[in-house]
Structure 1
Amino acid sequence: MKTVKKWEKELNIKLKLVVDEDDHVNQMFCEDCVQFMPDQTSSFVTGCTSIKKESVKYHRDSVIHQRGSAKRNREAEEIADLMDTHFTKPERCNGTRWVDHKLRAISKLVTNWKILVMDMMSYSQDDSNAGQYRAKAQGILKKMMQFKFIWFIHFMKDLLTEIAKVSLQFQKEDLILSSVVNKLQTSNELLRHLADNDGDSLKDFKIKLNGDQYEDETLKNVINFETLDNEKGRLVQLVIDCLQSRLNNIDSDPLYLSCLVLDPKNWPCVADQKILLYGNDSIKLLLDHFKSPLLNAGCDIDSAMSEWKDLKFYIGRGEHFKGQNPFNIYQRVSHEDIGREEYTNIMLVIHLTSLYPLSNASCERAFSIMKHMKNDWRYSLSSERMDQLMRIKITGKGEEFNPKWTETQKT
């Protein structure tokens, strides 16, 4: 035990020891790299499988210990304290398709840039570190000091900020077509504006830049902003083209555009006579398009048009509908119409349009839940039990949900 404690001080590493009844060390792990299970077991860690000083030193100098370990974060936090600033823990964005995750990762890189540069300088100049890793740190430092690199991460933060708004819109459970169309139209205009103008992050970069000096560091290979602006316009246009190629018909197809009249936010004031004719042509288009499934569902086409006119006044005059999401409004109308059946036919049309497959975020969330549930320790779960657990997790527990089994169920 005393010998191992001596190694900790000499090699500047924190070790976790597993001892027997006679106080002899049986196992040894690096606390910076390993998260322990409740039973104190751990996965294999390079160099710490045998109780030798050489294996501890080997692990300390290994990539596993140096890359992303808690030790590296603590060192960065110490540098941040000396600089009287705050260090935010970096995020990995590899393997994720969610734009918001990438935005958080790039935002933290922008915030931590100065701290990371100082940390890399310190590491590359520390002779106690292995030569190959000091050389690697110098290579990373060289890239981080490039003028174009700094400009690019600020530009990407501005660009991802706008794209993330569209991405988050598609992740909502109560997603409706009108909100998607509005968000896409707004995002296209904002992206076109970004192609010709600097975003907030780039403006902040230019304010802090003084010649080739940025945050008291000298940047390498300075490039004039005219060249970079051309590159910015090209990249933004690629994003706009990508969005239009994937969603080009949502804001141009007459059938999709006709669904915009179902959003009460777009309606004229109830006191305005224009509300009588508002959306009538669009409803007729929807009735003609979905005529076959609507007739199969027992919908009266003529009554649907008459109910549409009454529905506009009913929602427009209802104080409890104001400020509500259209999805919630029509759910409440359907609930209030039970027994009265005043809007049965038009509600069939409205609910039918809500079935447009605008996003697969719900499916992605379900797969994530399944992945967390059916892990290596619960791999023998039956399909029936898996279905029950996922339904509870996705929809939430009911008011009468009782997790305790009765004696009959136990037997």
Structure 2
Amino acid sequence: MVQAQEGETVDAKSKAKGYMRQLQRKNILTFMLFLYDVVVVLSKISLKAQISSSTVADVAASIHAAETALGMYKERKSTPSMLEFETYFQSEDLTASLSGSTNIETHLTKMLEGLKNRLEGRFDDMQNGVCKALKIASFNLWPEDDKLQDYGNEEVKTLAGHFRRGLAAAGVDTTKVGVEWELLKARLNSKSDLNNFKKNSLPWSSIIPTVKEELPNICAILDLVLTIPASSAEAERGFSRLKNLKTTMRTCLKDDRVTDQLLIMLHSEEISSFDPHPAISLWHAGGMRARRPEYHRRRCHASSAASCSGNHDSDSEQEFEAEYSSDHGGSYIGDIQSDDHHDDFESDSD
């Protein structure tokens, strides 16, 4: 129920009444249900593009699925929610207040045609050349086990030829990628590993480290393919994090500090799977240094001895220096200067 709140102006109340009259028209309600289903379909593309591990082929497949679903809506002249119109508005009082017809075929067809034209221009070259070869990086597009034998052979050759200069500069032997691709498929296909990867949607980042030592050349090509961004979502996420990091209260942050913190924010593991113990051990080990429990007591003793005699070359100080040298194998004055320099350095760092 659309209703203006108490104390609102006459203009606001008249607008609320106008909205109420519009919501009592069946064609308006039907079009809202249609929009709901269309937004659900399009949101799947957006969500897939926002996943950092999504490949170009994954996003292209999501767009193709959306085109197929919208094409079915256009052919049927309806959507699942539109078919449930009577279920949503089955109350007798509500049904009696509705007027008009639920026929929106003209507007539905026009909008779906416009969306189809827009989507067809995205990744329209995925069926040719290098773009087609990128499909090997998506497990969801891999065929079943019985058709896996010849899958990807031509695509691997295409990628190796297209990126041959960069791969050669990185020390990749492109003559071995064909054999290593066959071995990689055999490894993944054994013990139904491929079906497990598809079912759990495991990324290549959890697979490549286990086979990189054995199959370095094909893993280098897969790493290269996975670095090609499928959308600008990752870059936009970086600028969003930068805005939250370098606020007006932190304008003095240096570039190296900003870079380090952004790397941590953008590329760290999820908090649920992050193990802090290695980082804590590294930090703890880096801050440890040798301690001398007798340092302050002996330093005070030497200062007292010097003040009492009024001469730094007194017999008591010489005896203390000799005792310290025999116990620690070094000069006490030299150690004091070294410690003072280290303490000053730590103070400057803090």
In the superposition, the TM-score normalised over structure 1's length comes to 0.59
Which SS does the other structure have where 1:342 is aligned? coil
Larger mean Cα displacement after TM superposition, 165-174 or 201-210: 201-210
Pick one of 231, 250, 253 that aligns with 1:359.
231
| Residue in 1 that maps onto 2:122 | 246
Is residue 136 of structure 1 aligned with residue 15 of structure 2? Answer: yes
**How far is the alpha carbon of 1:299 from its aligned partner?**
2.0
| Residue in 2 that maps onto 1:304 | 177
Letter matched to residue 175 of structure 2? D
| Residue in 2 that maps onto 1:166 | 45
Q: Deviations over 1:345-392 (max 9, x none)?
A: 111222222222211111222222222333444445443443333333
Q: Deviations over 1:197-217 (max 9, x none)?
A: 32222122244457xx88346
| Residue in 1 that maps onto 2:130 | 255
In the superposition, the TM-score normalised over structure 2's length comes to 0.68
Pick one of 98, 111, 131 that aligns with 1:235.
111
Distance 1:364 1:262, change over 3 A: closer
Distance 1:297 1:129, change over 3 A: closer
Is residue 199 of structure 1 aligned with residue 73 of structure 2? Answer: no
Letter matched to residue 390 of structure 1? L
Query: Following the alignment from structure 1 to structure 2, what is the Cα–Cα distance between the partners of residues 348 and 147?
Result: 58
Contact 1:208-1:215 within 8 A present in 2 as well:
no
| Structure showing greater Rg | 2
Distance 1:318 1:300, change over 3 A: farther
Structure number having the greater strand percentage: 1
Distance 1:348 1:207, change over 3 A: same
Letter matched to residue 231 of structure 1? H
How do 1:313-392 residues align onto structure 2 when only pairs under 5 Å count? 313-318=186-191, 322-324=195-197, 328=202, 330-337=204-211, 341-392=213-264
Query: Following the alignment from structure 2 to structure 1, what is the Cα–Cα distance between the partners of residues 17 and 143?
Result: 61
Letter matched to residue 174 of structure 1? S
RMSD: 3.3
Contact 2:30-2:102 within 8 A present in 1 as well:
no
Q: What is the count of residue pairs matched by the alignment?
A: 280
State the percentage of identical aligned residues.
19
Query: Following the alignment from structure 1 to structure 2, what is the Cα–Cα distance between the partners of residues 172 and 159?
Result: 21
Distance 1:223 1:299, change over 3 A: same
Structure number having the greater helix percentage: 2
Distance 1:192 1:257, change over 3 A: same
Contact 1:174-1:327 within 8 A present in 2 as well:
no
Letter matched to residue 149 of structure 1? I
Distance 1:200 1:224, change over 3 A: closer
Larger mean Cα displacement after TM superposition, 254-263 or 317-326: 317-326
